[in-house]
Amino acid sequence: MPVVEHVDLPRFMGPWYVIANIPTFIEKGAHNAVETYSLESDGTIQTVFTFRDGSFEGPEKKYNPTGTVVNKQTNSEWRMQFLWPFKSEFLISYLTPDYSQTVIARTARDYVWIMARTPSIPEKDYQAILEFLSKNGYDIRLIQRVPQQAVAK
């Protein structure tokens, strides 16, 4: 699975809306899914993953995995730890130059996350990402859009 040439970690930090994915078991039925990254002084990446379970009014779920950059030359290959001692592959395979859209992929092509800085992206961008994933071995029929709804502040 390809990875981007270089990720500016501080620029990558912050909230990302999950536009679509091949969901893990905990993400099935997720609404308003957002993954937020914070770079810690020790180089780890603290993550807050929140979503509503089953509907926009469903209970809020929150997970706090820790990311570790394993390729310090590119910063595009991480491991994400949800439960000790298990770490999952986390590859930044696609990233727009303005850091507004990204794809997190895996060599096994079993899970994928299409994410953006906004709750939606233009359809042409979405289709281009699906084409990228298809060319790189993903079965795009498994990818599901994640319902996103503006949340009142």
pLDDT for residue 153: 47
Is the per-residue pLDDT at 84 higher than 60?
no
* Tokens found for residue 73: 């030359």
* Tokens found for residue 106: 């895996």
Structural domain boundaries in the chain: 9-145
pLDDT for residue 69: 97
* Whole-number average pLDDT of the chain: 94
DSSP-assigned letter for residue 59:
P
% of the chain exceeding 70 in pLDDT: 94
Q: Which long-range contacts (CB under 8 A, 24 or more apart) does 63-71 make?
A: 63/26, 67/37, 68/43, 68/44, 69/9, 69/43, 69/45, 71/3
- d(C-alpha 46, C-alpha 80), whole Å: 10
Give pTM, 2 decimals: 0.94
**What are the pLDDT digits (tens) for 105-144?**
999 999 999 999 999 999 999 999 999 999 999 999 999 9
Span 9-145 CATH architecture: Beta Barrel (2.40)
pLDDT for residue 86: 66
Number of residues assigned to the chain: 153
